Amino acid sequence: METENHTLISEFFLLGFSDDPKLRPILFGLFLSVYLVTVLGNLLIILAVSSNSHLHNPMYFFLSNLSFVDICFISTTIPKMLVNMQSKTKDISYIECLTQVYFFNTFVGMDDVLLTLMAYDRFVAICNPLKYTIIMNPRVCTLLVLMFWIIIFWVSLIHVLLMNELNFSRGTEIPHFFCELAQVLKVSNSDTHINNVFMYVLTILLGVIPMTGILMSYSQIVSSLLRMSSTVSKYKAFSTCGSHLCVVCLFYGSGIGVYFSSSVVHSTRRRMVASLMYTVISPMLNPFIYSLRNKDVKGALSKLFIRVASCPSWINDIRTKFILRNIRQIL
């Protein structure tokens, strides 16, 4: 194949899941449903947290940020795949591919950071409850999230700038349903040694280190729970971090599965299915995990639904008062 400079490459081709025209409508309907459920579920979590004053604390501040990141995370990959399915094409422009790589890396990094901050929040709340309001005050939490957003924005930008220096062949095919950095590097004709080193270093900094911090936090939490004499206190303390632990296991478990499937299994289709777990399934299940296992979130969602259900009558009351006032003015 003829090699061209990256400045001349106008598009890549995403191979996706299947070329079977009979499967395309089924896959389109399935992924569209998953996308809508994910966006709606995470949006409800954000609305429930913001509308309930009892949930205005660090734990739910991080949760609402996680829901926002999950909406952006799945919106980076699925809409383009749906457009390609609908138009029966596989192309993605060079600029779109760079943009996907940038935002995908950004939101994966923020997922790691937020899950780590939530684990640290539970560690402070259970192991150092007297210092909780001092350590986890709202200003510190906001500054931490803002600081990590800025750091990961710049890190993702460096990834894209390094990738922009690579050369690709005409008609380059990416064996994935989106532009994943590792897969794009594999199809390049240039030396990707620097890119790979930078990617592995950041995987350690933004993947292994946060996961280690989460494990250390939960080891201290379990140790503190075992020292509690009251069974009720143990259950109450663990119930506050049970949902988070499930999300952590789902996210990191699927991420590790993708890593091993890429290293050990050479089937492109299996790698894509493994990638689905943390790019699509994890963001979709997070709202269900938090709403089903967390009494505070369930209560906030119930109040939100009641408020929404009462909106029509509230609007009718305002309309009636407005009409009566106009009638009185006319009379």
Pairing of strands 173-174, 91-93: unpaired
State the CATH number of the domain containing residue 211. 1.20.1070.10
DSSP letter, residue 173: E
**Residue spans of alpha helices (H) in the chain:** 23-51, 58-87, 94-127, 132-135, 138-163, 181-186, 193-203, 209-227, 231-263, 268-276, 282-293, 295-309, 311-330
Cα 262 to chain centroid, rounded = 21
Is residue 314 predicted with pLDDT exceeding 50? no
Q: Which domain holds residue 71?
A: 3-330
Amino acid, res. 6: H
Is residue 62 predicted with pLDDT exceeding 70? yes
CA angle 215, 183, 282 (to 5 degrees): 40
**Residue 157 has what pLDDT?**
93
Indicate yes or no: pTM above 0.75. Answer: yes
What's the mean per-residue pLDDT of the chain?
80
CA separation for the pair 65, 114 (Å, rounded): 8
Is residue 206 predicted with pLDDT exceeding 50? yes
CA separation for the pair 143, 108 (Å, rounded): 20
CA separation for the pair 205, 126 (Å, rounded): 26
Structure tokens, 295: 């009494």
Number of structural domains (the chain) is: 1
CA angle 300, 306, 307 (to 5 degrees): 90
